Structure 1
Amino acid sequence: MTTIKLQQSGREFSNPEEVKSFLENNEVIYEQWDTTKLPEALVENYQLSDEDKQTILDTYKEEIADISERRGYKASDVISLSSATPNIEQLLENFNREHHHTDDEVRLIVSGNGVFVIQGKDGEFFEVHLNPGDLISVPPNIRHYFTLADNRKVVAVRIFVDEAGWVPVYEETA
């Protein structure tokens, strides 16, 4: 179950209708995809071969095609992060930097957990704690960053508007 945490007030909620409404009001797309269709050998597997990654993309081929048709996405890939990932600390440092993109940033959590921290329409940042099956799309030009949950493991499908992927625009700090 996805949980939203408002950073300023500390308020948390996980009621599915409230989560969907809150994200919708902030123009964030949120969907839940079926993770039971994932081959058992890939559930909670964080050391994926290229073949494993392709199997994940093939497993969600119809769903990826559907959202791509609706939103104009043209490419997708799979990323796996865990303690076994080379240079994990450097990658997380880059992900944790506040930025925006000129395209949607789309992620489907396949295994593990992730947290998007997003600036809401009211200027307050909120956390979206994602679990397997959660798909989120952060709109273009919205300040945000991504981090791992306490378990520090995630496998995610990333879906792109441009085949080159996202280009982060980092926020300058005064």
Structure 2
Amino acid sequence: MAVIKVRNTNEVVEGQEQVSSFLEKQGVLYEHWDMSKLPSHLVEKFVLSDEEKSEILSAYKSEIEDLAERRGYKTWDIVALSDATPNLEELLKKFENVHTHTEDEVRAITAGHGIFIIKGDEQTGYFDVELEAGDVISVPEGNPHFFTLMDDRQVVAVRLFIETEGWVAHPYQEKQELNK
């Protein structure tokens, strides 16, 4: 289950209802998918063949199609990151810059952990959303954020897109606000 840490107050938000409520107030979609649908041989696998990626997409076909219909997403894929990923450090440096997109950034975590750092409203400031398997999040278009790995440095996620070429990151300049 996701855990939120508000940077300027050190408040911690836990529990599905509390996390959902907090994120809803910030305009961020949060859902939780049933991880028992994931084939057991993929539960903690972080290097995936195209066939295994297709298996994940098939296992969550109804959830993906439902979310896509509700939110206008047209295409989706799987991203798998771990220490076995070529050029992982370079990828993380690219991810770890605060940016915005002209569409939502959506991830449904199916294995491992990830963290979104999101700029909230004026009162809230930046907050961290620590995600684990089953957590689904959609950061709205134009909302400053970045995504990175947690200490275990392993994640598999379904990503959904409106534009078929995927997200284009637009740098966001207020990096000094990250501690607020």
TMscore range, shorter length: over 0.9
Q: Within 1, Cα distance between the matches of 2:56 and 2:150?
A: 22
Higher mean C-alpha deviation, range 131-140 or range 9-18? 9-18
What's 1:69 paired with?
69
Aligned amino acid, residue 144 of structure 1: H
Aligned length: 174
Structure 1 stretches (4+) deviating beyond 6 angstroms?
A: none
Q: Deviations over 1:104-154 (max 9, x none)?
A: 000000000000000002260000000100000000000000011111100
What's 2:178 paired with?
none
Higher mean C-alpha deviation, range 164-173 or range 1-10? 164-173
Q: Deviations over 1:36-60 (max 9, x none)?
A: 1111111110010011111111111
1:121-160 aligned at under 5 Å gives the runs 121-122=121-122, 124-160=125-161
Aligned amino acid, residue 121 of structure 2: K
State whether structure 2 residue 27 is matched by structure 1 residue 48: no
SS of 1:8's partner is coil
What's 1:172 paired with?
173
TM-score w.r.t. length of structure 1: 0.97
1:84-99 aligned at under 5 Å gives the runs 84-99=84-99
Residue 13 of structure 1: CA displacement? 1.8
Identity among equivalent positions (%) equals 49
Residue 15 of structure 1: CA displacement? 2.6
Q: Can you give the 5+ residue segments of structure 1 that lack an aligned partner in the other structure?
A: none
1:11-22 aligned at under 5 Å gives the runs 11-22=11-22
Residue 173 of structure 1: CA displacement? 6.0
Say what the alpha-carbon RMSD is for the aligned residues.
1.2
SS of 1:27's partner is coil
Q: Within 1, Cα distance between the matches of 2:16 and 2:76?
A: 27
